[in-house]
Amino acid sequence: MTGATLRLGTRGSALALAQARWVADQLAARWPGLAVALVVIRTTGDRSQAAGTPLAATGGQGVFVKELEQALVRGEVDLAVHSLKDLPTRLAPGLKLAAVPPRADARDALVSRHGVGLAALPPEPRIGTSSPRRAAQVRAARPDAAVVDLRGNLDTRLRRARTADYDAIVVAAAGLHRLGRAGEVTEYLPVEQFIPMVGQAALGLEARAGDAATLAWVEALDDAATHAAVRAERAYLAALGSGCAAPVAAHATAAGETLTLRAMIAAPDGRRVVRDVLDGPAAEAEALGRALAARLLAAGGAAIIAATQRA
């Protein structure tokens, strides 16, 4: 392996680079003869953020990964590091989710200039987020809240949280931890009430399915429990269908050989939310995700999705 170089593709945001460098450090620790070179690739999602365009208007899920996958297919990089929440449930042909390292804190976090939690915010608080999932769960928890659009990278969002435009913002705890800014968290929101996005706080390491050398190096970083959990979450999302426009969420945790999967489907205004929890064998993660999707759809989720699509 001496002299081998792995080209690692990543987005150029501060968070993406921090994640990529962590992966590079882990690979170097396990394979001392392996050199890792970071290759920064600008994605459609990055351009959309810079222009202030809503992500849904540029294609929704996948806008942060398309160019990275294209670089993999063309052989310009050997490995792509994604925030797994950005990776579509259907990968580009010829590619493989080679590894999922241990997940960071998957909770959402409230950052408030008032220094208090969600329940203690002033009446009719202005709460910033650009996530329909977070917006629906904020409205369900605080029906008096005004959800205000909040875009930009994490540093930009945190800076805006200190202005009078917002009483609080909701962001992913994992991003704050990875950038060394966990001290700015006012409250960690419990997953029972604020179910995370599918794949939240997990990294997805994607490679070409036929690249045996890269797969051998990268699979050493895989965490079986996290990988099983995200398989269940992604199967749940896939079972809802690609046309699902309603806010949805799913989060699985592992205890030994058992997975506990909780999920929800919500109306955008938060007035209708269906939630459920299901346990199952980790070895049957995908079946667990599909089963919970079926239960939620039958419990009213299908009607919520249909109404959202009509709107």
Q: Which residues are catalytic?
A: 86
Kind and range of the H or E run holding 195: none
> Do the Cβ atoms of 14 and 153 come closer than 8 Å?
yes
* Two tokens, residue 56: 């849904």
* Two tokens, residue 85: 């929440």
Residue with tokens 């966990």: 182
* Two tokens, residue 253: 């945790």
What is the distance between the terminal CA atoms of the chain, rounded to a whole angstrom? 56
Tell me phi and psi for residue 224, to 5 degrees: -60, -40
Q: Which of 264, 267, 229, 270 is nearest to 248 (CA)?
A: 264
Counting beta carbons within 10 angstroms of the beta carbon of residue 230, is it exposed (0 to 12), middle (13 to 18) or buried (19 or more)?
A: buried
CA separation for the pair 185, 199 (Å, rounded): 21
> Do the Cβ atoms of 177 and 106 come closer than 8 Å?
no
> Do the Cβ atoms of 96 and 206 come closer than 8 Å?
yes
Q: Which of 133, 81, 136 is nearest to 237 (CA)?
A: 133
Q: Which of 73, 4, 80 is nearest to 41 (CA)?
A: 80
CA separation for the pair 96, 264 (Å, rounded): 28
